[in-house]
A and B are shown apart, each in its own frame.
Chain A
Amino acid sequence: MSAPGTTDPDAATSGRPAPELPPKPGPSWFAIGGTIGAIVMTVITARSVGFSFSDVWSNLSRQNSVIEGALSPDWSQIWSERSRSAFIETLQLAVLGTVVGATLALPLALWTTKFGNPNRFLRTIVRSFNNVIRSIPDLLWALIFVTAVGIGALSGLLALIFFSLAVTTKLTSDILDGIDMGPVEAANASGAGLNQMLRTAVVPQILPSYASFVLYNFELNLRASAVLGLVGAGGIGARIEFFRGRGQWEELWGLVFMFFLVVLIVERISVSLRRRLV
């Protein structure tokens, strides 16, 4: 209840000529601990992989056919019948894997949310399932499916489906966390069923982002499908593995560089499409 100004501590200090600076705070315990932890981790891990600068240098500076092959790639591979059909198979695998995987990802993502899946127990199950499939990398999926289903493009397709499922579900459920709940409440208030609510109040909100995730996923799949063949799951990887086995590095690099050119072009197209979407 005192009058403002008279008891204000600022007023008292304003007359002081030069305020003393507070002492500079030292680094926090977290920073110290984190730095020490990182250094210890680095020393231990470097030892367990046998890292040494001199080895890296001597190995890289030594003459070897791999790097020589990279400097003079054999472009004629592009016109060979086999490489071209492997190329097309890779593209088809990526497309189908993305379409099927990403389509399945939409309901799976919706089921991780409170409004899309009111049952808490089921929600936990769906979330754990997503976590598990996300922690298995693409090539491992391929390895598993090749063992179960046999060598061939079908294993590659199944591997890409599961890989896409994991990626798109994760990205989409992150977007779902931040949607506007207004339309959901409106739909519920007007008596919509669960599916009607999702269809009219949720899906329209996330559709542009979802579409862009699918395209992004396609880019990932295109890159992933290049290596599936290394374990026998179809696509261009089989050709790469073939040339590697015979030590034909010029041909291998010709093929790999060509593939990256295609990947970069597809990525440009995909990025411009995504920019339009969002």
Chain B
Amino acid sequence: MSTPAPRLPAKPIDRYKWFFTAGVVGITLWSALGLEAKWSRLLDAPSDMWTLGRVMFTNMEAADFPDLIRAMWESVAIAWVGTLIASVFAIPMSFLAAENLVGRPIAWVTRQVLNLLRAIPEVILALVFIPVFGLSPMAGVMAIGIGSIGSLGKLFYEIIEGIKDEPIEASEAVGASRLQRLRWGVLPQVTPELASLILYRFEVNIRASAVLGVVGAGGIGGDLQQALLFKDFGTAGLGLIIIVIGTIAVDTVSGAVRRRIVAGPTGGGGGSSLRPTGRLPIFSRRWATGVDTITTVAESPSPH
């Protein structure tokens, strides 16, 4: 009765996988063959980079330091004010985009508006705000402000959709109006998460505001571009170092504050009951710790 060795079933062929791979390879080949780049320069690129790096980091002068620090601070300021402006618009919009607070049609329309806003890069916005506000940091502030509404709104409504219904039902049961329900049923549940997301967006926006100067919208990007344009490599090198250190420093401080906001004073269970349960497993862990983020893997956010 004993069969010697059970035959293994044939390994299933995953058609989807093959189709996917073939598509990727095909598109890559099309791009590689079609792109008119000076490929001959590619071989020189490492030595070019080495040369640039050498002239940038060996000619630095301490005299540039105060100006560059001031410019970096301007970038930070642009990011902060811009993020606040974005939050002012994003919070009410996210209430209108949460399916558990408003009906499906309203939520759908609001989400499309958010998607549209998310698609526009900040630099393009800065480009169009410069003729309106002049070559000033305000153009950068408005670019960051308008450009972040989409992604902040999306992060916000995902949090709002994960809240518990009971407090809303309870406030409804005691006769709260729509606004009162928002104030007592929704806001207390989401405030820590919202505050933390605003800080997170601030970190992302520092990267954005550091480059806005390239088109003339204020901040350290302008100094860097001018320096490279006029072959003032030492200044450019120092500027680059200040950007890297400044960004990492703000990330570190802001990250620590965010962890404290979400975790609560005990550093553990306190705030965890506020976390959305189940809905966004990858999300809640990542944005609390990471710099680049992706919300749910299925839906696409834009941290940039």
Contact = CB atoms under 8 A, between A and B. Distances in A.
B141 A51 contact: yes
B218 interface: yes
B45 A148 contact: yes
B34 A92 contact: yes
A238 interface: no
Contacts of B80: 41-42, 45
Contact of A135 (B51, B76, B207): B207
Contact of A50 (B24, B76, B136): B136
Contact of B207 (A132, A137, A264): A137
A230 B215 contact: yes
A60 interface: yes
A265 B32 CA distance: 22
A66 B131 contact: yes
Given A45-B81, A49-B141, A131-B248, A230 B214 contact: yes
A263 B297 CA distance: 18
A147 B302 contact: no
A278 B297 contact: yes
A88 interface: yes
Interface residues of B, number: 83
A171 B293 CA distance: 7
B127 A244 contact: yes
Nearest to B78: A49
B138 A49 contact: yes
A166 interface: yes
Contacts of B260: 30
Contact of A139 (B142, B214, B247, B248): B214
Interface in B216-264: 218, 221, 224-225, 228, 236, 240, 243-244, 247-248, 251, 257, 260-261
A274 B30 CA distance: 22
Given A51-B141, A264-B119, A278 B298 contact: yes
Contact of A219 (B16, B243, B300): B300
B297 A223 contact: no
A89 interface: yes
Nearest to B207: A137
Contact of A170 (B35, B140, B225, B290): B290
Nearest to A253: B128
Interface string B126-153: 0110011100111011100000000000
A224 B260 CA distance: 33
Interface string A214-240: 001001100110110011001000001
B166 interface: no
Contact of B36 (A89, A136, A178, A271): A89
A270 B123 contact: no
A123 interface: no
Interface string A135-155: 111111001110111101110
Interface in B133-178: 133, 136-138, 140-142
Q: How large is the interface on A (under 10, 10 to 19, 20 to 34, 35 or more residues)?
A: 35 or more
Contacts of A28: 265
Contacts of A153: 35-38
Contact of B119 (A59, A91, A223): A223
A275 B38 CA distance: 37
Most interface-central of B51, B121, B304 (chain A CB within 10 A): B121
A256 interface: yes
B298 A274 contact: yes
B39 interface: yes
Contact of B121 (A91, A152, A227): A227
A112 interface: no
Given A66-B132, A230-B214, A138 B304 contact: yes
Contacts of A230: 123, 127, 214-215
A192 interface: no
B84 interface: yes
A274 B39 CA distance: 32
B28 interface: yes
B67 interface: no
A92 B31 contact: yes
Interface of B: 16, 20, 24, 27-28, 30-32, 34-39, 41-42, 44-45, 48-49, 51-52, 73-74, 76-78, 80-81, 84, 115-116, 119-121, 123-124, 127-128, 131-133, 136-138, 140-142, 207-208, 210-211, 214-215, 218, 221, 224-225, 228, 236, 240, 243-244, 247-248, 251, 257, 260-261, 265, 285-286, 289-292, 294, 297-300, 302, 304
Q: Which are the 9 A-B pairs with shortest beta-carbon distances? A: A45-B77, A92-B31, A139-B211, A49-B137, A135-B247, A154-B37, A95-B31, A153-B37, A148-B52
6 contacts: A30-B260, A49-B77, A89-B36, A134-B292, A135-B207, A137-B207
